[in-house]
Every structure is written in C-alpha cells, then in structure tokens.
Structure 1
Amino acid sequence: MSAGGGGNNDNDGVINWVALVISLVALIGTLAQVLQQYIASAAGYSNCGESVMGKWHESKKRKFRPTELRFEVQFETPVIFVCEPKNDKGPIKGKPIYFVKGTDESLKETRALLPKEEEAQTQALREKRVHTADNERASWVILLSQLQSMEKESQDWQYHHSNNGPPHNLPLAGFESHTLAVALQAKKRSWDTMPAGIKKPYATTAMCHLLEIAAMMGIYWKEFDRSRDRYRAEGNGYMLVGSNVPDLGVTFTLQICGKSRFQENRVIPVDEVKELCCGFVSTLFQEENKDKRRIEVPIEDAKDLSILQLGSTREIAETMVLIECNTDTANYFRSDDAKHGHLFPVPFELLGMLGKTLHIRNTAFRMLPNPTPYHWDKNFFNLRRLVKEYYKKITDSDSELPPVFQIQQLEEDSGHLVRTLAEDKRTKTPGYSMKLLDTLHDVLDRCDEYLRKSNRDLVRVVVREHFQEVLKLINDKSGADDAVDNKSTRTTDTKKAEHFDELTAASPELRQELFMDLYFFKVLHQVRTRAVASYERRQDTHYAPSVRAPSVHSREPSIDNLTEAKYSDPEAKAVSLPPTPSAVPSRPISPGPPPPHLKKHESSQSVPVLHIHPPERVLHQHQLLGMDLTSSLDSEATAIWCTLVLRMLCWLLLHDFNKKDVQIPKSELLGSRLPVYIA
C-alpha cells in the first residue's frame, strides 16, 4: 500500500508541475498578447524609422496614455522658412531657430547630412536590396541635404574662384553678409493627427517660402495652376511636384532627376529675391528703411517708382501706365501681334535702368530669378560690345552731347569699364572676376546717386519718352522697307541705323554698333525734345503737384553747380534764371529785353553743339549763365538719358538670369502664408 501510495503522490506531483507549466505558458502568452496589443496601439512608429526620417528619427518616442490604455507616437519634423540670418523670430514661439549654413555645426543642428553622406547612409540601409529609386526617404530630408550642399558648395567655389582671379584686397563676404537664408524650427507632432492617406511624416512651410526656396535652388516653374492644384517645377537636376492631398492641403514632393551644381549659377542671397519670385522689382528709388513685412503692406497696386510689376504682359502694361506712358505703349504689351524686343526684350531694359542693385559686395554670385515672362537669351547680343559702342558714342563729337559734368563722369566711367572688361576677358572665369564686379557696382552706385538727386519728375518723363519711342520704333513699319534697302549698302562711315529691323539681319559684329547708332542719333533726339517739352508743359499748366512729396528729390538751382541745376518749382525758375524765347511755343516769353549775359546762342539747336574732348571743353560759370532755361533742361534730360542707358548695361552685366527661367503670373502670392507641406 505504501509503495502504491508513493507512486500516486509522484504522479500527482508531475501532473501538478505540468499543469503549472501549462498555466504559466498560457499566462505568458496572454500577457504577451496583451502587451503586443498595447504596443501595436502605437500606430506609425515603424513609419518614423531612420530609413524615412534620417537623423530626425531620434526624436520619435512612445508615450502611454493611461486614460486610453494605449501608446501615442510622438516625433519632430521641421518647419522650414526663409528669412534674414539676423532674424530671431520664427513661426513657433520660444523655439530656437537653426540656419542652413553648410557648416558642420549647421549640419548637426538641422540633423542633416551632405548629399554624399546621405547617399552612403541610404545605401547601407538598403541591405543589398535592389531598388530603382529610393522611395522610402521623406523628400524634406533630401531637401535639407541639398540646401546644405548649396551653401557649402557655393562658398567653396567662391573661395577657390577668388584665389585664381585678379588680386583682391578685401576679404570675401561670408554667410553673415547674406540677407536671405533658409532656416527651420523643430515642431513636435503626433501620429494621431496624421491624415489617413499619409504614410510618412511631413515638413511644413508656407507658399511664399516654397517659391523662394525653389528659386534659390535653381528650380524653375513649368506649371502653376492653382485652380486645379497642379504644380510642377524643374531645373538644376531637381523636380518639384505639388498637388492637393485630402484632409491635409497642397503637398509638394522633391525628386532628384540629375546632377545639381551651385557655383556661378548660385542665386544671390538677397531679400529682394522674394519679390522677384512673384514678378516684383525694387527700384533704385526705394527707401532703405522700408518695412520688410510685405504681408502687412500689399504692393500689388504700386503708386510710385519704388517698385515695378513685370510678372506678366498685363502687369507690364500697367507698369507702363505707372510711368505715364501713352495708351499705345501700354497696348503693345496687351497685344499678341506687337513686338516687345530689339536685341533683347524691352522689359529687361526697364529692369536695368531702374532696378535696385542686388549684387552683394565682395561676392561672385550674379544669378537672379527672372521676374519677367520673357526668356533672357544672350546668344543674340553681346553686352560687352554694347558697352564698348556706348563708350564710342559718348565720346564721339557727332553725338553733340552737352558739356556738363555728368557726361564727363559717364565718359570716364564707361572708359574705365571698357578697360576692365578687356582685363576680365583674360581671366579663367570671364564675367566673374572681383575687379569687374567691383567696377560695375561702383558705376551703378554713381549712377544711382545722380538719379536720386535729379528731379524725379524729369527722370520719370525721360523714362516715359524713352520707352514710348523705343516701342514705337520696334513696331513702326513705316521705315522698315527703307531700312531693309539700306542693309546691303550701309557703311559705318556714311550711314546710321534708322530702324530696329536692321538689327535682325545685321552680322553679330555690327549688331551692337547699329543698336547704339539708333539710340544716340535717333532715340536720344526724340526723347530729349519731347521730355523737355512735356516737362515744361507740366510746370506751366501746374499739372505737376504744387507741393512735392518727400520722396521726390528736387533741388534748387545752385550757382556752384549750374550744369546740373534742377528746376522743379515754376516760381524758382522765374527767380533763378529769367526765361528767354525758345523753340517751344508753349513756353511764355518774358517781357522786356533780357540781360546781356542771357543773350540767346546763335546756334538754332537748343543744346550747344560742342565736341566731346578732354577737360578744357568745360565752360566757365559765367558762360553757363548764358544758357537759357530750355538749354539747361535739354542738358539735364540728355545727362539723365545717358545715365540710364549706361546703368542699364552695367546692371545687366552685374546680374544674370537663366535662359530657361520665365515668370509664371503669381504676384498675389508675394508674402502668402498659405500653409503647404513637403512629403
């Protein structure tokens, strides 16, 4: 009995142990199943891995929600925006701002890698799997990598370029001299708020910032249809595609489709790029202390010459109205049959004459977004030859230019520029030598100083008459047949260009000479005559405001500098220089005999015909006092026109545009804070 009882006890023990093990296994399985369910409640955790977010995956974490008995997935993604490097206020209050600088510190702060490192890391994560494309990576991670490369590569190129160029005493300007930079802030997000169709974390930006970033990277818009939410831009090895995503909004995806480069094609990092992206152009007359928060002060309806709209033919027509051109001139841009160019489209001439100098001192960057709907193709003309021909004409005695100080200054500046261009041509990178860029910038500064001090009304009238005459000659067919007949018999010694149609059939070496012939011997004469007549008529009929706005820089006549006297007030005209009879019928004749020293010149022309020679050609002050008011206005209008033409040439030499880049109308998006997303 005892033996049998012992056997039963042993069997019971085994059974108990087996039951205990089975119970434990069941318990563990149940606990594992419950734990798995809780862990599985952390939806999206696997979508925030390193293969998707790069170094940003380090911010992901699970947070248990006791009241909901589940885990919530939290992570960080960037809010990307464009601002000045000195900016300390971002879209997220209290969060630090990190700028994309291309340095090791910036790479660490923005949690980004350079493209080569990014590619190597992505290749390691693939683990020998065959892929035709890397579809796992979020495109904003690639965007940050490419932006870092843009800063680093462009700065490296500039440093190498300056060492191989002409001697340059001043140090190169670095990131601190930029007024436009890409910045970001980290924003905490939850997967609970992700729309149902989104499988990857997204970055946030605004529509205006996206336009600016695309321009900085050399990406040009091919399609921009807001009515159907279809957006596509290409360029510099990138493709940017946008569409509307339900429950989210307009979402863009960046793809790499070729090799990118950021060297001489780097866009100048200046704040005005924001305006150029939307077809606006700041001019030399814009006040320096103007409020930069454009979203608070819309500029779609410009009222003065501080800013121009060139984003579409309709806006260009409105700009022509702004500078008070006649209806025919504005209608040229409203018509599909009219011509808008000579050697290059006319809006670029307006851009060069009045556009603000955007080049940054001691940098080699020249590229800008094109604010016009026209292509900038330099294969059909040569700006260097135009400068050379300008110098020939302004020093030619046949041009009959007045002997005023500004003309002498333009002669000196253009001559120095011609010599600098010859030196620049012998460098390894023509067009980008620091000496040439400094010279162009200096000439532009002197032209700007003169135009700002000149009478604003007279400058506006000269600009108006110039474009009226140029567009009329371009579209006028009355003299086209005669011009064609002259092409075969023309010699540079006996004939001058009479019509712009001559430019199309002229050989490349004669094209620039014909252009300057037209400008100095035909356009200048008409502009000078009509500008002076219009200006005097405005003053005599009190068409111009009696009280000048502070922005109009008028000056009283000065005995010390009568060659540049400004007559902006009718009363001042009568006091400073008694008027004498002139060729303009609308001008009143003063009663009584004029003083002997104001005796009218024997020449029938309103501008004294004097050959341009060295300094001894300058008249003495008592001789200048003998010039009547019309002659003074003629001289001033001529000097203003010559200054505008030289400024146009220098501005277009100092700045450049990609010939594939054209403006698609989107002026209302300037400063737009419409949220958009980067997948």
Structure 2
Amino acid sequence: MAGQPTVDFSNTTVYLKEDDEEDKIINYVALVLSVVALISTFAQLFQQYLASAIGYANCGETVMGEWHKSKKRNFRWKELRFEVQFETPVIFVCPPTNKNGPIRGKPILFVDGSDSSLKDTKALLPEAEESKRREMMASRVHTADNERATWVTMLSQLQSMERHSQMWQREFYSQNPPQSRPMATFGDHTLAIAMQAKRRSWDNMPTDVKKPYATTTICHILEIAAMLGIYWQEFDRAKGKYRAEGNGYMLTGAEVPDLGLTFTFQICGKSRFRENRVIPVDEVKDLCCGFVPTLFQEDLKDNRRVEFPNEDSKDLSKLQFGSMNEIAETMVLIDCNTNTANYFRSNNTSAKHNHLFPVPFELLGMLGKTLHIRGGAFRMLPNPTPYHWDKNFFNMRRLIREFWRKISDSDTEIPPTLQISELISDGRGLVDELQRDKKSDTPGYSMPLLNHLHDVLDKCDQFLREADRELVRMVLREHFQKILKMINDTEDGTATGKKEGGQHKRRDSDGEDRPRAEHFSELHAASPEVRQEVFMELYFHRVLPVVRDKAVLSYNRRQHTGYAPSLRAPSVRSPRDSLDTLPEKALSEPTTPHGQETPLRPVSPAATNTNTLCPPAMEQLSKHKSSQSVPTLHVSTPTMQYLGGVQDKTTSLDSSASDIWCTLVLRMLCWLLLHDFNKKDVQISKSELLGNRLPVYIA
C-alpha cells in the first residue's frame, strides 16, 4: 500500500549478532578463569598434601648420597597426608662369618672394599671415590660437603680403609721372598664392619634432628674408632663430653634431646691405611676397653663379653689394664703383695712404673695372646693401658740380641735344661733373622721376620700352657714384686752390693771390665748403645736369682700348707734350714699339685744323670747347685725337663722356675716386637662399656 511507512530490521539484526559475540567472549573468558581458578585450587590442595610429606627435602642426594634412592612417600588415607619413609644403616662390628644381625630377616652387608660391597652398602663408587681423591689432593682438607650426613662419609672412609690397606698388604707381600703360607685375606679376619638397612619414618624423627641418622651401639663405636685409627682424648660420661682424634679424623659426641647420645664424624686431615692399620681380630673389642686376653684363654667362644662384662676375673685368662686401679687389681690377681699393688693406686702420685718402658707393657708381653694374623702385615693394636708406648727410649731388637747373649753366657747361673737349650736356639735364630731383615726389600718388619716371631711365640705358649700354672703364677708374682721394688727403692741396689761385698765386674762389648749394674737408675745414665745391655744384665744377675729362689720357696709352702706366707727369710739359707721350715707331715707324705704322692728328699749330685751332659753343661750345673738358696726337691711337674736328651724326672723346681722366667722374658720381647701401639694412644678408663649395647646414633 502506497504511502504507508516501512520498517527496516537489517540493522537490528546486525546489532543482535554483535551482542551474541560479546557474550560468547565473556563466557569463554569466564570459563577460562574458572578453569584456572579450579586448577589453582587443585594445585594448592595438591601442594598442601605434598607439603604434608615433612622431611622429604632433607633426604636428598646431597644429604644421604646413594641412600637417597630409598626415600619414598606413602599416602595415609585415614589422615589424608603423605608419610616420608627412607632407609639408613644399622652399623655393627662382628666376624665375617656372622649370620645373625640385629634386624631379623635382613641381609648382612660387610664392608670389604670391593666393588660389590661399595654397591651393596651404597657407599661412594670407584669413580666418585677417584673424583674425591683428586679433590683432596687439590685442597688437602675437604670442608665443602658439610650438608652431608656424617655417617655417609664414615661408610666411605671405612670402605677406603679396607681397600687401601689390602692394596698395601699385597704390595708389601710381593716385595718379600716367596712364603710357604699364603697372604692373609679378608676371609682370615675375625673383625669386620657390617651393616643392615633399616626403614624409618620421618614421623619418628626428633624435632631438633634435621638429617637422617645411622644407628649403632656404644661398644661398636669404640671399636670402629679404633679400626680407623682414632684415639680418645676425652671420654667423660658424667659431663657428656666425648672427643676422639687421629689419622685425619675427628669424632665428637653429645646428648641430643629426645634422641640420645649422638656422634658426629668429620674429616680434618689426610688419612692413611698402611702399616698403621689395626689388626682385624676379634680381641680388639677387649683391648678397646682395657681388657687383655691372655695365652691361657680358651679358644671356645666367650659369651661373658655380652652377658657378664663386669664380672671380676678369677684366673689368668683375661687381665685388666684400663686404669691405674685396674692394674693394681691385676697385680692382686697374680698374688702380688699389697706394696706392689699400691704402686699402681690412683692416689699414689710418687710411685714410679718405668724402667726402659712402663712395667704394665712387660706383663702384657709376657701373657698377652698373640694377635698377629699369619701371612698378614698388620701389627697395630689399640693401647689397653694408660701409658704411652714410646720406642725412642729403647731398642727392642737390641734387647733380643742381649737376651740371647745373656742366656748363652756361662757366667749366668741358669741350669742347662732342654727348655734353656730351645731358648738359646730360638734366640740365635731371631738374631740371624733380624740381620737378614736389615738387608731385605722391606727393612724393619719383613714377612719372614714376622712369621719367625710368631713361631717363637707359639713355642713359648705351648711350654707355658703345659707348665705348672701355679708355678707360673709364682714366678710372675715374684718377678713384678722385685722389679717394682727395685724401681721405687733407690737403696735396694746399693744395699745389696754392700752386703755381697762390693759390685761384680762385667766385660762389655768392647772387651773392658766394668762394674756390673745393680739398679735400674743406671739405665738413665747409660748411653743408648749400652742401655739394652745394662737392662738384661740387671734382669739375669739381679732379678732372676731372687725370683727363682722366692718362687720355689713360696710354691713349696703353698703346696704343703695351703698358703704362701710373706717371705722375710735371709737371702741365703742352707738346705737343712729350708727343710726344717716344712711341716713334718709334708716331709714324710708330700703331695704334688695334682695330688700324687711323691717322696721328698734332697737331690744328691748322683741323682742327676750328669753322664749325659757335656763338660761345660756339667760345670754350669755344678756351679748352679752350689749357689742354690733353697733345697732341690724331687717334685713331679706337668712339664718334663730333659738333660742331654735323656728324660730326667727328678729335675728340681728351681730349674723349672728358671725355664719359666726365661721363657716369659723372651716371649715378652717377641710379643712387643711383633705388635705395636700408636705413641699418642692411651687408654681412658671405660671397662664398663665392654659389650655394652647402649644405642647411640651417628649424625
């Protein structure tokens, strides 16, 4: 229809389309923002759950090394949080043949320095160890990895100890002549570091502890420290202060709240494991606490170390040397008188205990169990005594040579028994071996010398085990009573010399006649060249006669009266007077130590089969009999002596006492030459910790 208005909706349609596009954009933006907000919310929620895994960051590789691979998170649905779990080692010391560990069902991993052991114990691999070695060469002291747990560093050093010491032993063994016995290996050791992995939870970590810790016991930390060559400088359980240093390491201990006694292991210098390596034998556990197993100890396993470590010893199987009072108790154990024991009391500050070296080392050498491993080159041991072992003041090799000269000298009043002949032969063999040792490729302690010393010790042990144990105890007692009296009594030597009508003369190595030494004070004035000669001169001419006579007299009295009273009799007594002192019943029906009745009568010269002796031996025997201060008695003893190859069942007790004394002295020299102690190592009293299983921790 004409004239009517029209409406154009084209523009309106366009406007509607533009509004829809804007709405869509807004919706998309809102959707994106919502999704981002949702993701952020979930991320925040997830982060909060992850944050509930407390301690996960503290179990990283920088802290735990290869042990960090054992960490993991476990979600605990009931608590809607993650729990952090990880593994750390439980370290202990045992023989390599041990099959039982503190954790049941877990395999025992031994530290032996091999590639497989490095892998099993998650210690530094050979490539990482070589890298660390280069770093140590560049910067001497390594202080960069202070965030690492110290037990990880300790495991690495223990592996290095085994690897480097075995490499040195193989090199040392190859430089010596071919040996009949193969070189000792890890399988020959009776002491090794072992561990088991234990899974732990960070939920149980004390608040103040920020790094995972390893677990051990107080007795094992003492043994590990000794094996690494660390010596205790402070060990105060009352004040909670523990500090040990040595061989480039430092070990400190302190009480940590809610945890317990915790030790920190640190590297403070360069370490070495060669001839200074401690002999890996089980007896090191005893030595660390001041106990010394002796040659009389049975080979059976001793469970008292764990069950009754503080039980007083009633025999000579184990001695205590950890403190002055414990040494005094040891002197009481071998039946020394009160004066001798009081020399070692801690409140006796005026007493002296040294001649060439501290007297307790002499008892240690006479009775200590041989701990050297056949075919092994290691000689070091923890020092069980509170004295320093300083070899600058004497020469053990010269002492052996002087011992052989004195025991072979016709001027020495020693009856010529079979045992004395054996000792003369052993002494000569040792002197020859010492000469060959000087010319060897490893002068000082070649493998033939170590094996020869071990052989001599085995022969001495066999003789002493078969001898009358009571007579051995008597000889030990009288020996140390005489030695300590001479050291502390300055008038002893002078008075004896005047009583005997002046000093005797001796011919020294230069062929000159000089006054014979009468007292230990002369050792201090003697030059280093003659010091050893003076020492053996005192032993054979001043100590042996007194020890022999008093030991035999005390032995006879104890066998016939049940006790041995103190000896205050004159030094020279007639046979008749000595017999008169014995009970009448003892003269008619004497009893041997084993309860066998044996006729008791003085021995006439005809009673000894002198036809089988060579003229020098007959002359020496006659000279010896004329100077006896106690009667020679027919007494049956477990050890049969031989004269000239013919068994003599009527050998006198004083001959047996001389044999025992000479054997003990030679054994002491060989034992102290075969074994060694660090000059800086002294024992701090801790005997109560032997076998102690108090848990301690390594930070």
Specify the TM-score bucket, using the shorter chain as the normaliser. Answer: 0.7 to 0.9
Does residue 606 in structure 1 map to residue 628 in structure 2?
Answer: yes
Task: Indicate if the aligned counterparts of 2:494 and 2:518 stay in contact, CA closer than 8 A.
Answer: no
Match of 1:531 in 2: 551
Match of 1:389 in 2: 402
Task: Indicate if the aligned counterparts of 1:484 and 1:501 stay in contact, CA closer than 8 A.
Answer: no
- Give distance in 2, aligned partners of 1:168 and 1:8: 104
- Give distance in 1, aligned partners of 2:133 and 2:443: 39
Per the TM alignment, residue 495 of structure 1 is displaced from its structure 2 partner at its CA by: 2.4
Match of 2:563 in 1: 543
- Give distance in 1, aligned partners of 2:275 and 2:118: 23
Q: 1:597 to 1:281 in 2, by over 3 A?
A: closer
Correspondent of 1:227 among 207, 230, 238: 238
Correspondent of 1:88 among 76, 86, 99: 99
The more displaced of 597-606 and 383-392 is: 597-606
Per the TM alignment, residue 165 of structure 1 is displaced from its structure 2 partner at its CA by: 1.9
Match of 2:488 in 1: 475
Task: Indicate if the aligned counterparts of 1:300 and 1:668 stay in contact, CA closer than 8 A.
Answer: no
Two-structure CA RMSD over aligned residues (Å): 2.7
Per the TM alignment, residue 298 of structure 1 is displaced from its structure 2 partner at its CA by: 2.5
- Give distance in 1, aligned partners of 2:249 and 2:70: 28
Per the TM alignment, residue 290 of structure 1 is displaced from its structure 2 partner at its CA by: 3.6
Task: Indicate if the aligned counterparts of 2:278 and 2:381 stay in contact, CA closer than 8 A.
Answer: yes
| Paired residues for 1:211-610 under 5 Å | 211-292=222-303, 294-334=305-345, 335-479=348-492, 492=508, 493-543=513-563, 570-572=590-592, 578-581=599-602, 597=607, 603-606=625-628
Q: 1:604 to 1:118 in 2, by over 3 A?
A: closer
Task: Indicate if the aligned counterparts of 1:394 and 1:411 stay in contact, CA closer than 8 A.
Answer: yes
Match of 2:184 in 1: 173
- Amino acid of the structure 1 residue aligned with 2:356: L
Match of 2:220 in 1: 209
Correspondent of 1:49 among 41, 57, 60: 60
Per the TM alignment, residue 39 of structure 1 is displaced from its structure 2 partner at its CA by: 0.7
Correspondent of 2:680 among 650, 655, 660: 660
Q: 1:427 to 1:134 in 2, by over 3 A?
A: same
Per the TM alignment, residue 484 of structure 1 is displaced from its structure 2 partner at its CA by: 13
Q: 1:61 to 1:483 in 2, by over 3 A?
A: farther
Does residue 143 in structure 1 map to residue 154 in structure 2?
Answer: yes
The more displaced of 165-174 and 435-444 is: 165-174
Q: 1:649 to 1:482 in 2, by over 3 A?
A: same
SS of the residue aligned with 2:305? coil
SS of the residue aligned with 1:281? strand
Give deviations 1:568-613, integer Å, cap 9, x for gaps: x94349977532248xxxxxxxxxxx997589989533399xxxxx
- Give distance in 2, aligned partners of 1:8 and 1:73: 56
Give deviations 1:324-361, integer Å, cap 9, x for gaps: 00000000011111000100000000000000000010
Match of 1:677 in 2: 697
Task: Indicate if the aligned counterparts of 1:230 and 1:242 stay in contact, CA closer than 8 A.
Answer: yes
Q: How many residues are paired up?
A: 624
SS of the residue aligned with 2:474? helix
Q: 1:395 to 1:116 in 2, by over 3 A?
A: farther
- Amino acid of the structure 2 residue aligned with 1:201: P
- Give distance in 1, aligned partners of 2:602 and 2:74: 91
SS of the residue aligned with 2:693? coil
Per the TM alignment, residue 316 of structure 1 is displaced from its structure 2 partner at its CA by: 0.1
- Give distance in 1, aligned partners of 2:129 and 2:152: 9
Correspondent of 2:653 among 621, 633, 641: 633
Per the TM alignment, residue 400 of structure 1 is displaced from its structure 2 partner at its CA by: 1.9
Per the TM alignment, residue 482 of structure 1 is displaced from its structure 2 partner at its CA by: 8.4
Per the TM alignment, residue 123 of structure 1 is displaced from its structure 2 partner at its CA by: 10
Task: Indicate if the aligned counterparts of 1:366 and 1:656 stay in contact, CA closer than 8 A.
Answer: yes
- Amino acid of the structure 2 residue aligned with 1:356: K
Give deviations 1:148-206, integer Å, cap 9, x for gaps: 00000010000001111233232211000000000000000111111111111000000
Match of 1:198 in 2: 209
- Amino acid of the structure 2 residue aligned with 1:534: S
TM-score by length of 2: 0.85
- Give distance in 1, aligned partners of 2:320 and 2:596: 40
Per the TM alignment, residue 291 of structure 1 is displaced from its structure 2 partner at its CA by: 2.4
Q: 1:230 to 1:572 in 2, by over 3 A?
A: closer
Q: 1:27 to 1:438 in 2, by over 3 A?
A: same
Unaligned runs of 5+ in 2: 1-11, 136-141, 565-588, 611-621, 631-641
- Amino acid of the structure 1 residue aligned with 2:653: L
Per the TM alignment, residue 479 of structure 1 is displaced from its structure 2 partner at its CA by: 4.3
Unaligned runs of 5+ in 1: 125-130, 545-568, 583-593, 609-616
SS of the residue aligned with 1:399? coil
- Amino acid of the structure 2 residue aligned with 1:47: N
- Amino acid of the structure 1 residue aligned with 2:116: E
Per the TM alignment, residue 621 of structure 1 is displaced from its structure 2 partner at its CA by: 4.6
Q: 1:450 to 1:122 in 2, by over 3 A?
A: closer
Correspondent of 2:128 among 114, 117, 121: 117
Give deviations 1:395-452, integer Å, cap 9, x for gaps: 0001121121110110111110110011112224333211011100000000000000
- Amino acid of the structure 2 residue aligned with 1:391: W
Task: Indicate if the aligned counterparts of 1:347 and 1:372 stay in contact, CA closer than 8 A.
Answer: yes
- Give distance in 2, aligned partners of 1:392 and 1:18: 109
Per the TM alignment, residue 494 of structure 1 is displaced from its structure 2 partner at its CA by: 3.8
Per the TM alignment, residue 618 of structure 1 is displaced from its structure 2 partner at its CA by: 3.9
Task: Indicate if the aligned counterparts of 2:294 and 2:316 stay in contact, CA closer than 8 A.
Answer: yes
- Give distance in 2, aligned partners of 1:221 and 1:114: 30
Per the TM alignment, residue 117 of structure 1 is displaced from its structure 2 partner at its CA by: 2.0
- Amino acid of the structure 2 residue aligned with 1:339: K
Q: 1:260 to 1:598 in 2, by over 3 A?
A: closer
Per the TM alignment, residue 296 of structure 1 is displaced from its structure 2 partner at its CA by: 1.2
Task: Indicate if the aligned counterparts of 2:243 and 2:251 stay in contact, CA closer than 8 A.
Answer: yes
Per the TM alignment, residue 223 of structure 1 is displaced from its structure 2 partner at its CA by: 0.2
Q: 1:56 to 1:406 in 2, by over 3 A?
A: same
- Amino acid of the structure 2 residue aligned with 1:374: Y
Per the TM alignment, residue 81 of structure 1 is displaced from its structure 2 partner at its CA by: 0.2
- Give distance in 2, aligned partners of 1:232 and 1:178: 28
Q: 1:134 to 1:483 in 2, by over 3 A?
A: farther
| Larger Rg belongs to | 2
Task: Indicate if the aligned counterparts of 1:483 and 1:502 stay in contact, CA closer than 8 A.
Answer: no
Q: 1:635 to 1:531 in 2, by over 3 A?
A: same
Match of 1:551 in 2: none
Q: 1:186 to 1:15 in 2, by over 3 A?
A: same
The more displaced of 599-608 and 190-199 is: 599-608
- Give distance in 1, aligned partners of 2:177 and 2:527: 33
Q: 1:362 to 1:122 in 2, by over 3 A?
A: closer
Task: Indicate if the aligned counterparts of 2:590 and 2:599 stay in contact, CA closer than 8 A.
Answer: no
- Amino acid of the structure 1 residue aligned with 2:547: V
Per the TM alignment, residue 136 of structure 1 is displaced from its structure 2 partner at its CA by: 0.8
TM-score by length of 1: 0.88
Q: 1:514 to 1:224 in 2, by over 3 A?
A: same
SS of the residue aligned with 2:26? helix
